[in-house]
Amino acid sequence: MAGPRHISVSETSRPVLPRHAKLKYDETRQVWVILAPERVLAPDEIAVEVLQLCNGERNVGDVADQLAAKYAAPREAILADVIVMLQDLADKGFLTEAREKTS
């Protein structure tokens, strides 16, 4: 069974898109989209970059480290932005946390 549905994003969470939300590049419209039940979301470029790093293994702190290094920007500001963005996605039901393997 699934774990707790609603997650609270922090520096130590290891978020990942759930099975029912798929990040995909839409060749026809030349935009990134998140496909979800009865919804198509259009993440902006930075959100896409964050989500591509969220593989369920990296935690949010690691993601902020990478972005801070890449853009030579202050880590704390990036971390705060990333948490807000991911929490927004989580509140809408499009983000989950990596679970322990049970098999």
Partner 1 sequence: MSDLLGNIPPDTSDSLAVLEKQRSTAEAFGIPLAVLLEITHRCPLQCPYCSNPVELDRSGKELTTDEWKKVLSELAEIGVLQVHFSGGEPTARKDLVELVKHASDAGLYTNLITSAVLLTRERLSDLADAGLCHVQISFQGVEEGLADRVAGYRNAHRKKLEVAKWTREIDLPLTVNAVMHRQNLHQLPDVIQMALDLDADRLEVANVQYYGWALKNRAALMPTVAQLDECTRLVEEARERLKGRLTIDYVVPDYYALRPKKCMGGWGRQFFNISPAGKVLPCHAAESITGLEFESVRSNHSIAWIWQNSDAFNRYRGTGWMKEPCKSCEFREIDFGGCRCQAFALTGDAANTDPACALSPLHETIFKQAEREAEGETNRFLYRNFAGGTLESENDA
Report the Cα 77 to chain-centroid distance in Å.
17
Interface of this chain with partner 1, residues 22 to 61, rule: CB under 8 A: 22, 24, 26-31, 33, 35, 37-44, 46-47, 50
Q: Applying CB under 8 A, what is the total number of residues that bind partner 1?
A: 38
Token pair of 84 as six digits: 């807000």
Find the part of the chain contacting partner 1 (CB under 8 A) among 9-17, 58-66, 67-75, 85-93. Answer: 85-93
**Residue ranges binding partner 1 (CB under 8 A):** 1-2, 5-6, 18-20, 22, 24, 26-31, 33, 35, 37-44, 46-47, 50, 81-82, 84-85, 88-93
